[in-house]
Chain A
Amino acid sequence: MSAHGPGPAPFGRRLLTVTGMQALGDVYRVLTVADDGPDPAPGQFAMLAAAERWGGGEDERPYLPRAFSIARRKPGESQFLLEDVGPGTRRLCELGEGDQLWVLGPLGVGFRAPEAGRRAILVGGGVGIAPLALLQDRLQGDQTVLLGFRDGARSAGRELLRDAAVASDDGSAGHHGPVTGLLLVELERDQHAVVYACGPAAMLEAVRAICAERGVPAQLALEAGMACGFGACFGCAVPRRAGGYLRVCVDGPVIDAGELDRIDEHAGAPA
């Protein structure tokens, strides 16, 4: 799907410069960095750490870099979607134009193009909508975008994608209820589809169960606590249906739903 094809990441983190930090509503921030690295596949991610004052925050954290999906890629520029949920994301949200950032990536296995004739349904939840933006940029053909948010402030995130139908937990924007309510309606209408999803564990589990019940293929972009992003730490394990574990960083983050058992909130990411 990528214009140039995803090249392997450079070996070692790169020091890049922030070229923009825009608010997307009251909660989310879009971080833009000058990036001449390889073109990412949609669903790939990068490990980010601020070059200055990474550490010494709450509880002397952050220490490890944080994993973020690549939300958008333009020539010479990568974008990431941020939400302040802990000392690492808070520090990243503080960055401004001209600040420097360590970036390792692009990493991991991204989304695969739909089989010919299948409609793509993109299902995103909260800050997990990020990889779906790059996917939408690269997808050709019929597609449907369904995004769920906790509240009205977060629903401003819908602007990251085009033509999105929205659901909110508190009813302040779009459909009142989980985004999977919208997914059920879409699948009722036409099951000849492939579902691409990224969001909180509970949403992914609901998507997995809905798609499994109907025999609809689904590709899920998972999040898990990870220290490295390149298969070294073995921290980001998720149970594999066939037994054992998958590493989200190198076996994913995009994993076929059929490979997974029940998705639990068991591998919470460092925030």
Chain B
Amino acid sequence: MSVEFCGLELAHPVINGSGTFDAIAARRAFGENLLDGFPFAAYVSKTITLKERAGNPPPRLWEASGGLINSIGLPNKGLERYMSEDLPELARLLSAVASSGREQAPVPLITNVMGSSAAEFAALVEACDGLQEIAAVELNVSCPNVRTGLDIGADPRQLEDVVRVVRAVSAKPLIVKLTPNTADVSACAQAAQDGGADAVSLINTLRAMALSPGGLPGRARPWLGGGSGGLSGPAVRAIALAQVAAVAARVEIPVIGMGGVQSAAHASDLIDVGATLVAVGTESFRDPAAGARIARALQRAGAD
């Protein structure tokens, strides 16, 4: 059930959502067992920014009805240390996955980056461009523009401008991770395509909040240290299906669908409405091997 995606030959259509699986930490927790059972046909890094970020103050999580609200705040080492520390380790790990099991090429690495301006995005993407360890770059555009305060990815015109600037400095496949917190997600997908993106991925988390338990009327306080957060998990699955369907109907470039996928049936739904690949995110928190289980079940269903 191999899949062609932006010139990459993938063993199956299941990858991870950015920020939902830390392969380096998982290697520490599971040792060689991770390599034998690596669940994803391509591995997406967590979001890398130009400068190091500590992340948001805790609490960072809230268990919602059928899902999870997170306000993590994109902790990462910054571009320079990602390149010097994490990239060599990830490349070794993803090559070891291939050599520990079936005969296949190393699992391709997709590096996810976020900037707060077109220039910052361009600097991040340009740094990835010459590196053979990186197969593709994903742009996290769910971030406020430093000047306007509006999410870059929520405004089609601004999004198209950013993608165009980035396109000019990179020959790598470019994936735009769309935000669902917008009036018309398919217009944003169209803008990404017009700017020169090779693929789009969606949905990111839906903006959400939770209150501290036991608050009094008029004195309610947000639970999350970051104030508000993003909702994921089964609670968002039907919204993801609608948005993926709308986007796939609008654009020609391939679509990576995600949002609340817990089973092969959920993954098939996204593929049926036009997704080329499916990403597993929050379900990996409940079971790190969920992606492998879903990929196997898809393969079995495909063979029938």
Taking beta carbons and an 8 Å cutoff, which residues of A are in contact with B?
7-13, 49, 55, 59-65, 102, 104, 107-108, 224-238, 243-245, 247, 250, 266-268, 270
> Is B284 part of the binding interface, using a Cβ–Cβ cutoff of 8 Å?
yes
Smallest CB–CB gap between B82 and chain A, Å?
Answer: 15
Count residues of B near A (Cβ-Cβ below 8 Å). 44
Checking A8, A228, A238, A245 against B284 with a beta-carbon cut-off of 8 angstroms, the contacting residue is A228
Max chain A CB contacts within 10 Å: which of B29, B33, B64, B293? Answer: B29
Residue numbers in B under 8 Å from A63 (CB-CB):
63-68, 233-234, 286
Residue numbers in B under 8 Å from A108 (CB-CB):
29
- With contacts A64-B285, A230-B288, A232-B288 taken as known, whether A8 is within 8 angstroms of B31 at the C-beta atoms is yes
Nearest A residue to B38 by beta-carbon distance? A11
Which of B19-27, B167-175, B265-273 lies at the binding interface?
A: B19-27
Q: In terms of DSSP, what is the predominant structure of the interface of chain A?
A: loop
Q: Does A235 lie within 8 Å of B60, measured CB to CB?
A: yes
- With contacts A13-B287, A230-B288 taken as known, whether A250 is within 8 angstroms of B29 at the C-beta atoms is yes
Nearest B residue to A13 by beta-carbon distance? B287
Smallest CB–CB gap between A78 and chain B, Å?
Answer: 17
Taking beta carbons and an 8 Å cutoff, which residues of B are in contact with A?
19-22, 24-26, 28-34, 36-37, 54-55, 57-61, 63-68, 70, 72, 75, 225, 233-234, 282, 284-289, 292-293
- With contacts A104-B288, A227-B68, A232-B22 taken as known, whether A270 is within 8 angstroms of B29 at the C-beta atoms is no
Q: Does A231 lie within 8 Å of B26, measured CB to CB?
A: yes
Residue numbers in A under 8 Å from B286 (CB-CB):
13, 49, 63-65, 227-228
Checking B31, B66, B225, B282 against A266 with a beta-carbon cut-off of 8 angstroms, the contacting residue is B225
Bound state CA distance, A11 and B291, in angstroms? 12
Bound state CA distance, A9 and B27, in angstroms? 10
Nearest B residue to A271 by beta-carbon distance? B63
Bound state CA distance, A246 and B288, in angstroms? 21
Checking B30, B59, B61, B225 against A230 with a beta-carbon cut-off of 8 angstroms, the contacting residue is B30
Nearest A residue to B29 by beta-carbon distance? A230
Q: Does A102 lie within 8 Å of B287, measured CB to CB?
A: yes
Q: Does A228 lie within 8 Å of B285, measured CB to CB?
A: yes
Q: Does A12 lie within 8 Å of B289, measured CB to CB?
A: yes
Checking B55, B225, B284 against A234 with a beta-carbon cut-off of 8 angstroms, the contacting residue is B55
- For the complex of A and B, the 7 pairs showing the least CB-CB separation, nearest first, are A231-B25, A12-B289, A8-B31, A60-B65, A235-B61, A228-B285, A11-B33
Q: Does A232 lie within 8 Å of B26, measured CB to CB?
A: yes
Q: Does A247 lie within 8 Å of B33, measured CB to CB?
A: no
* A and B contact pairs by CB, cutoff 8 A, 13 listed: A11-B34, A64-B286, A107-B29, A225-B60, A226-B61, A230-B29, A231-B25, A232-B25, A235-B60, A236-B60, A237-B75, A243-B54, A268-B59
Smallest CB–CB gap between B288 and chain A, Å?
Answer: 6
Nearest A residue to B289 by beta-carbon distance? A12
